[in-house]
Amino acid sequence: MKIGVLALQGDFDAHRRRLQELGSEVVLVKKPEQLDEVDALVIPGGESTTFLKLLGEAGFQKLQDFVRAKPVFGTCAGAILLAHRVNNPPQPGLGALDVSIKRNAYGRQVDSSIRLGTSKLGPEPLEMVFIRAPKFENLGPNVEVLAREGNDPVLIRQGSVLAATFHPELSDDKRVHQYFLEMVRNGGR
């Protein structure tokens, strides 16, 4: 089972380390063609507009085909890419999650913060690192909320697509990546 980490830009290396710690074989995906080699994909945080530029139209299309077929986990900018509708300002999304997502939703004053939230991953609170984070809005009926910070959904799943507005790869807690790998082992179910 090979897990790809989209390595165009952003904090892909922290995901690589975490996935390797958990025993996965990781491929850093620097070219869209490499998607053919992997069984699942992590789209890291970074700057979603930059991802769109670097992917180009053909890369975007290839990624969209991948997301329809195989398990994908997006964090922060990755979650933005996966959404159906992107606001503040609007930009194209892959349409893999039936949600709207508002970019930079916490405003400038609270650019970054570390908070604790609740999750379905176990009774212990989940540490959540937010960096110029977006917010999920208008969740569709098939979207399951796996974690909240306050009232806000921050980790969601729809079928074989998992997305977080925070950065689990920057906390010591491995539960979110473990959950994703479990999803991959179950063929996205």
Q: Is 144 a catalytic residue?
A: no
Nearer Cβ to ligand GLN (14/131) = 131
Of the pair 80, 97, the CB lying nearest ligand GLN is at: 80
What is the nearest approach in angstroms of ligand GLN to the Cβ of residue 114? 13
Smallest distance from the beta carbon of 28 to ligand GLN, in angstroms? 18
CB of 92 to ligand GLN, least distance (A): 13
76 a catalytic residue: yes
| CB-based contact 163:19 (threshold 8 Å) | no
Q: Which of residues 122-151 bind ligand GLN (CB under 6 A)?
A: 131-132
Provide the residue type at 174 as one letter: K
Nearer to ligand GLN by Cβ, of 27 and 80: the residue is 80
Contact status: 87 vs ligand GLN (CB under 6 A): no
Name the E strands within the chain: 2-6, 25-29, 40-43, 72-75, 83-87, 97-102, 112-119, 126-131, 135-137, 144-149, 152-158, 161-164
Of 62, 103, 135, 177, which one interacts with ligand GLN (CB under 6 A)? 103
Among 104, 118, 171, 178, binds ligand GLN (CB under 6 A): 104
Smallest CA-to-CA distance from 2 within 35, 44, 32 is with 35
Q: Choose which of 32, 45, 93, 168 interacts with ligand GLN (CB under 6 A).
A: 45
CA distances from 149 to 88, 135, 160 (A): 21, 11, 22
| Residues belonging to the chain | 189
Bridge partner residues of 85 (DSSP): 100
Six token digits for residue 113: 């913060």
* Options 28-36, 42-50, 63-71, 153-161: segment touching ligand GLN (CB under 6 A): 42-50
Catalytically annotated residues: 76, 167, 169
